Amino acid sequence: MSAPPPHRHIRRARETLGEAETVVVLTGAGVSADSGVPTFRGQGGLWREHRPEDLATPAAFARDPRLVWEWYGWRRELVSACAPNAAHLALARWQEGPRPIHIVTQNVDGLHRLARDRIRDGAGGSTTGEILELHGSLFRTRCTCCAAVEDSRAPIDATSEASLPHCGACGALLRPDVVWFGEPLDAHVLDRAFRLAARAEVCLVVGTSAIVQPAAAVATEAARAGAALVEVNPEVTPLLRVAQLSLRGRAAEIVPLLV
Ligand code: OAD
């Protein structure tokens, strides 16, 4: 683990973020690591212990929906026991301010939304900042036949195919509303993310290996369009080349100092 970033770097990042009229924040699994949600590629990462082709492809679901649902049911339970950390909460508080701060996340854990709900605490919010979930949500289902999408937090009973969740409207099998390998992202959500990135004065990137496309291109597109890129990650990523500032450290420690 590298030493904490010097104070002058934190100050510079604060100034850069503080002066921007429009900000896009791109987050990945690392922003939720301090909440106890496993990342994908780091130590103890999900793709170190499981093969994506067995669990996160349309072919895997067609072959063995029970196995795939069992895994997503386990992830739902795991994430349900986790709370937003100081980074999620700081970003949510920042979004309640007067300037539009948009969060584009690759995470399916719903913790940015939960943080926003916690900050508002039923008071009703006035933010213009959006939260775009590029890879979907663990807590939504999509019908494999009529494509109806619904919120869903109930535990998954994967003991048999009949016990798996089925569509209330047409009776067909439901699937998790997440993006699997080989599938396109929701075109509307992706288009919106790139539009926001192209207009942003600053792009803050937190906790992503920045190697999965097209998500990583949200950051590089923002930089190409002229945004200053500020990165928070304990490890070096490919964004080092385009980032104005790379702050080495954990999201929950660094992000609250910035926003
Ligand atoms: P990765 O697991 O690839 O990368 C996690 C990043 O978080 C790494 O760069 C770590 O160094 C960093 N990190 C770890 N702990 C951190 C902490 N406490 N604070 C800040 N950063 C930390 O996860 P993603 O980049 O999000 O896609 O992966 C992108 C996509 O690949 C995921 O959305 C998922 C996966 O396949 C789908 O499932 C479609």
3-state DSSP assignment of residue 53: helix
pLDDT at 43 > cutoff 80: yes
Place 156 in a pLDDT band, splitting at 50, 70 and 90: very high
Tell me the sheet residues that pair with 175: 142
Place 64 in a pLDDT band, splitting at 50, 70 and 90: very high
Q: Work out the mean pLDDT of the chain and round it to a whole number.
A: 95
Query: Does the C-beta of 45 come closer than 6 Å to ligand 1?
Result: yes
Cα 22 versus chain centre, distance: 19
Query: Does the C-beta of 109 come closer than 6 Å to ligand 1?
Result: no
Q: What is the pLDDT of residue 128?
A: 78
Percentage of the chain beyond pLDDT 90 is: 91
In the numeric block, the tokens 């099998």 are attached to 173
Q: What is the pLDDT of residue 121?
A: 79
| DSSP codes of every residue in 50-99 | S-HHHHSSHHHHHH-HHHHHHHHHHHHHHHHT----HHHHHHHHHHTSSS
Lowest-pLDDT choice from 23-27, 73-77, 119-123: 119-123
pLDDT at 229 > cutoff 70: yes
Reported as a single tens digit per residue, the pLDDT across 239-252 is 999 999 999 999 99
The protein residue with its alpha carbon nearest to ligand 1, atom 33, reads 106
Q: Is 105 buried (19+), middle (13-18) or exposed (0-12) by CB count in 10 A?
A: buried
The pair of three-digit structure tokens given for residue 219, joined into one six-digit string: 């950051």
Place 63 in a pLDDT band, splitting at 50, 70 and 90: very high
Q: What is the pLDDT of residue 4?
A: 75
The span from the CA of 28 to the CA of 107, in Å, is 6
Place 10 in a pLDDT band, splitting at 50, 70 and 90: very high
**Contact of 246 with 233, CB cutoff 8 Å:** yes
Place 33 in a pLDDT band, splitting at 50, 70 and 90: very high
The span from the CA of 218 to the CA of 165, in Å, is 34
Active site residue 135: yes
pLDDT at 125 > cutoff 80: no
Residue 256, CA distances (Å) to 34, 38, 75, 195 in order: 13, 21, 27, 26
Region 186-210: mean pLDDT is: 98
**Contact of 26 with 205, CB cutoff 8 Å:** yes
Q: Which of 11, 45, 15 is nearest to 28 (CA)?
A: 45
Region 157-163: mean pLDDT is: 96
Distance 42 CA to ligand 1 centre (A): 8
One-letter amino acid for residue 256 of the chain: P
Cβ neighbours of residue 216 closer than 8 Å, sequence gap 6 or more = 208, 210, 238, 239
Distance 160 CA to ligand 1 centre (A): 32
Distance 14 CA to ligand 1 centre (A): 23
